[in-house]
Amino acid sequence: RLATSFPEITASVGIHPHHADTWSGQTSSELQALASRPEVSAVGEIGLDHYWPGYDRDRQIQCFMEQALIAAKLNKPIVVHCRDAYETLIDLLSSDRTLPHHGVIHCFGGTANQADRLIGMGYYLGIGGSITYPSSHDLRDLVRTTGLERILIETDAPYLPPQIWRGYRNEPAFILDTLKIL
């Protein structure tokens, strides 16, 4: 509704991997119809999340691949959620050249090697409040060596607030604290 009411706002649409079990032919048709709308600029947040116990790997892969193919058909970028599944994600994206090779790997938390391979495919890395955490040395080093050309700053609100706001609900206004560290 916001994207249809305000021309300066666009939306992304997709089924998050936590809800991959809801994917169906009907969901696919509805998503394609939504993603076709001019106010929708991307398909996402889609992806793989192998962190939480009980996830259905095959179902997540199916849901991700079908949504990525919708994005490719519409020539729209993807916004990718990936947690504890970077090698699988890279293998999937490398295996099918018809998939979009433009978009953002949201809330990147992989290795420098994985970052290099994803950037080499054409993706940007989304960096949020976690870069401010004392334990995030590897992420800060990765950004230093990668440079800012393929980095996007993001809030991930209401999650992952910058360190000085830990314990609070993350808000878009906190992005300045992330930017200072970035």
Per-residue CA distances from 155 to 12, 102, 162, 164, 167 (Å)? 15, 20, 9, 14, 15
Q: What is the DSSP letter of 8?
A: T
For 181, list phi and psi in degrees, rounded to 5.
-75, -40
Give the contacts of 84 (CB within 8 A, at least 6 positions apart): 49, 50, 51
For 64, list phi and psi in degrees, rounded to 5.
-60, -50
Q: Tell me what pLDDT residue 41 has.
A: 97
Angle in degrees, CA 55, 170, 113, rounded to 5: 55
Range 171-179 average pLDDT: 96
User: What does pTM read for this prediction?
Assistant: 0.94
From the number of C-beta atoms within 10 Å of its C-beta (0-12, 13-18, 19+), residue 92 rates as: middle
Range 107-135 average pLDDT: 97
Round the average pLDDT of the chain to a whole number and report it. Answer: 96
Range 83-102 average pLDDT: 95
Q: What is the DSSP letter of 40?
A: E
Picking from 68, 24, 25, the residue whose alpha carbon sits closest to that of residue 46 is: 68
For 44, list phi and psi in degrees, rounded to 5.
165, 165
Q: Tell me how many helices (H) and strands (E) the chain has.
A: 7, 6
Contact status, residue 39 vs residue 10, Cβ threshold 8 Å:
yes
Considering only 51-55, 75-79, 160-164, which range has the smallest mean pLDDT? 51-55
Q: Select the more confidently predicted residue: 147 or 69.
A: 69
Could you read off the pLDDT of 54-84 as tens digits, one per residue? 899 999 999 999 999 999 999 999 999 999 9
Considering only 53-57, 76-80, 119-123, 160-164, which range has the smallest mean pLDDT? 53-57
